[in-house]
Amino acid sequence: MSEASILVPLDGSEQALAALPVAKVLGETERAALRIVHVGERKPPDAELLERLRLAAPALDGSMVEVRTGKPAAEILLAAGEVKARLIVMCTHTAAKPGKVPGNTATNVLRHAPCPVVLVPPGHGLSAWHLHHVLVPHDGTPTTSAALRPAAELAERASAELLVAHVTDIGAAPAEAGSLTTPRYVDQPQHEWPAWTSEFVKRLACICPLGHLHVRLVLARGSPAAEIVRLAKKQSTDLVVLAWRGKWEVPHAATLKAILGEAGCPIMVLRA
């Protein structure tokens, strides 16, 4: 059996190095080796590459470093397929003045990756990263349930708290068959919230063994993206885990795009 791998793409910029502390912790949690791939339009001299990676030396211990030339997204996806990467961990932007949406390389990797992608805001830098609080939004649909098991398993392996945020719009009907409907009196959660919470935990236990996992549920009402970003900040979230239906073109993925543009913590995106 081949060794589990986490792929970390770099392009020589300091912004891209922000992915390394996150990848290091995820690698330790998942017992996976870091495989760092440096992709550029030209192959840098060895001395130049080593100098670019010098600041990240503590996170590189025991890691493999590969240099590739060509179109960044295409080479990253090719490398991920070759090593059967468990995760791709990369920075959302490497431009000096990033915008509100991921850069072209991160976007293309996210859209076509054969595995989950963790996108890291460049502002994180090389600061140490810890995994103590995992937030997974849920709207009651089977699609978003796809993120529950991976998030729960990751949180348990990391001995982290799993915070499940149910963000609701009481005027919206369930979008999918099998959805767990929202409590009717969402503005007065004491009426139905305890029963809903009990039912949700039972469903979660059917999806994955909870073991010693600490699960906490919160109910929020309003714009899903705004509420998720607010909760992530308020709860000192280290990682947000999102299920994505795989469609990127407008008007799809509006919530995902908004969260990626505003969240201050890494985002793990799972294709449902």
In this prediction, residues 238-260 reach a mean pLDDT of 92
Residue 145 has a pLDDT of 75
Which of 90, 124, 158 lies at the terminal end of a domain, its last residue? Answer: 124
Give the span between the Cα atoms of 261 and 28, in whole angstroms.
28
Q: How confident is the model at residue 91 (pLDDT cuts 50, 70, 90)?
A: very high
Q: Do 65 and 165 sit in the same domain of this protein?
A: no
Which of 95, 124, 153 lies at the terminal end of a domain, its last residue? Answer: 124
User: What are the tokens at 49?
Assistant: 């590459």
Q: Do 240 and 167 sit in the same domain of this protein?
A: yes
Q: Which residues contact 163 (CB under 8 A, 6 or more apart)?
A: 133, 134, 135, 136, 216, 217, 218, 231, 235, 237
Q: Do 186 and 253 sit in the same domain of this protein?
A: yes
Tell me the residue range of the domain where 247 lies. 133-271
Q: How confident is the model at residue 45 (pLDDT cuts 50, 70, 90)?
A: low
Q: Do 186 and 257 sit in the same domain of this protein?
A: yes
Of 28-32, 38-42, 155-159, which range is least confident? 38-42
Which of 71, 93, 124 lies at the terminal end of a domain, its last residue? Answer: 124
Q: Do 267 and 151 sit in the same domain of this protein?
A: yes
Long-range pairs for 92-100: beta carbons < 8 A, 24 or more residues apart: 92/119, 92/120, 92/121, 92/122, 92/260, 93/15, 93/122, 94/11, 94/13, 94/15, 94/16, 94/122, 95/15, 96/15, 98/15, 98/122, 99/261, 100/261, 100/262
In this prediction, residues 154-161 reach a mean pLDDT of 94
User: What are the tokens at 133?
Assistant: 């609080």
Taken in order 224, 227, 233, 237, is the CA torsion positive or negative?
A: negative
Q: Do 71 and 198 sit in the same domain of this protein?
A: no
Residue 166 has a pLDDT of 83
Q: Do 160 and 223 sit in the same domain of this protein?
A: yes
Q: Above 50 in pLDDT, residue 1?
A: no
Going by C-alpha positions, the residue among 169, 181, 152 that lies closest to residue 243 is 152
Q: Do 68 and 91 sit in the same domain of this protein?
A: yes
Q: Please report, rounded to a whole number, the percentage of residues in the chain having pLDDT higher than 90.
A: 45
Of 40-44, 128-132, 149-153, 162-166, which range is least confident? 40-44
**What is the total count of domains within the chain?**
2
In this prediction, residues 121-126 reach a mean pLDDT of 86
Residue 231 has a pLDDT of 94
CA 69 to chain centre: 27
Q: Do 111 and 171 sit in the same domain of this protein?
A: no
Q: Do 236 and 112 sit in the same domain of this protein?
A: no
Residue 148 has a pLDDT of 85
Q: How confident is the model at residue 67 (pLDDT cuts 50, 70, 90)?
A: confident
Residue 26 has a pLDDT of 96
Q: How confident is the model at residue 56 (pLDDT cuts 50, 70, 90)?
A: low
Q: Do 225 and 244 sit in the same domain of this protein?
A: yes
Q: Do 171 and 220 sit in the same domain of this protein?
A: yes
The CATH number assigned to the domain holding 34 equals: 3.40.50.620
